């Protein structure tokens, strides 16, 4: 999927919601456990119920790998289902991969070919040759971890760096990594739990899309993210996982998820009017 198609989706749906398909087998509704593949069934029903309110789906691979081969099968069925039934939705493999060049090529093959996702999250620690192989695929995206939403982000990401005392490591990551691609094939992860950093980040990358986790269960504010991070063309994909997909553990879980997704979409619609549409 290219940038224009993504922006069109956002404008049509008045939403920049990404739903995290973090299908924890211990948390999905009990009645699904009788299905051959309960996790796929959970995802399928969620997707069917929520697709009008979001523009992207993001399975985190950990939830699938923790179930071994069976989990990998559920992930494969999920991306196939999405591509077949909802090809206009943007898909993100939240895999946080990264390895030396020839090995990252194989991760690109894993998540752009074997599992045909539109994008993958990538860890920057190993540098350019670990990121570039993903960028060689046309209409595919790399989403680089910059400033994550967790407590551990403090440990290294806020380290002051050499070239400029005021440049923190995550800013160096953004500055340097943004030279390896364009706003047509690169996005950055910036946690909603640090909205005050978004103004500084927008000085470095005024037009790139940001994938923003941390709204909802982790405590980030959607309004603040939009206020500080939104661009003329939106430039945001805000993820919610647990607050939507585990809104309800009854047989009505998918409808309850749709209600939560719709609430977020409505809030997003207002934020788009306030911070984005007027400038178009």
Residue 224 binds a copy of itself, judged by CB under 8 A: no
Q: Is 130 or 243 the residue whose CB approaches a copy of itself more closely?
A: 130
Burial of 77 (0-12, 13-18, 19+ CB in 10 A): middle
Q: Is 49 or 108 the residue whose CB approaches a copy of itself more closely?
A: 108
Task: Supply 101's token pair.
Answer: 């060049």
CA–CA separation, 229 and 171 (whole Å): 15
Among 14, 96, 132, 223, which one carries the catalytic annotation?
96
SS3 227: helix
CA–CA separation, 44 and 270 (whole Å): 29
Q: Pairing mode, if any, of strands 17-20 and 209-212?
A: unpaired
**Partners of 210 in the beta sheet?**
188, 236
Residue 72 binds a copy of itself, judged by CB under 8 A: yes
141: number of Cβ within 10 Å: 28
Residue 204 binds a copy of itself, judged by CB under 8 A: no
Nearest distance from C-beta of residue 133 to a copy of itself, angstroms = 10
Residue 109 binds a copy of itself, judged by CB under 8 A: yes
* Binding span for a copy of itself by CB under 8 A among 27-35, 142-150, 250-258, 259-267: 142-150
Q: Is 44 a catalytic residue?
A: no
Residues that bind a copy of itself (CB under 8 A): 22, 24, 60, 62-63, 65-69, 71-73, 76, 96-101, 103-104, 106-107, 109-111, 113-115, 123-131, 145, 148-157, 159-162, 169, 172-173, 176
**Could you list the active site residues?**
96
């Amino acid at each position: 999927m290219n940038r224009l198609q993504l922006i069109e989706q956002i404008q049509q749906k008045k939403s920049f919601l990404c739903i995290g398909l973090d299908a924890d087998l211990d948390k999905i509704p009990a009645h699904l456990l009788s299905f051959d593949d309960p996790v796929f069934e959970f995802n399928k029903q969620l997707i069917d119920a929520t697709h009008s309110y979001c523009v992207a789906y993001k399975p985190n691979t950990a939830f699938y790998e923790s179930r071994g081969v069976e989990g990998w099968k559920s992930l494969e069925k999920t991306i196939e289902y999405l591509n077949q039934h909802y090809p206009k939705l943007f898909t993100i493999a939240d895999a946080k991969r990264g390895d030396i060049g020839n090995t990252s090529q194989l991760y690109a093959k894993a998540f752009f070919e074997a599992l045909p996702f539109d994008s993958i999250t990538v860890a920057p620690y190993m540098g350019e040759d670990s990121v570039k192989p993903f960028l060689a695929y046309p209409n595919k995206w790399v989403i680089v971890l910059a400033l994550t939403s967790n407590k551990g982000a403090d440990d290294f990401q806020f380290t002051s760096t050499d070239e400029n005392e005021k440049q923190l490591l995550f800013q160096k990551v953004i500055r340097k990594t943004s030279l390896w691609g364009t706003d047509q094939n690169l996005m950055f992860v910036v946690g909603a739990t640090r909205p005050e950093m978004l103004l500084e980040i927008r000085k470095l990358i005024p037009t790139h899309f940001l994938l923003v986790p941390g709204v909802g269960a982790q405590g980030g504010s959607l309004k603040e993210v939009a206020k500080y991070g939104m661009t003329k063309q939106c430039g945001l994909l805000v993820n919610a996982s647990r607050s939507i997909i585990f809104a309800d553990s009854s047989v009505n879980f998918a409808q309850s998820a749709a209600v939560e997704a719709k609430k977020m979409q409505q809030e997003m619609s207002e934020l788009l009017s306030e911070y984005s549409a007027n400038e178009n």
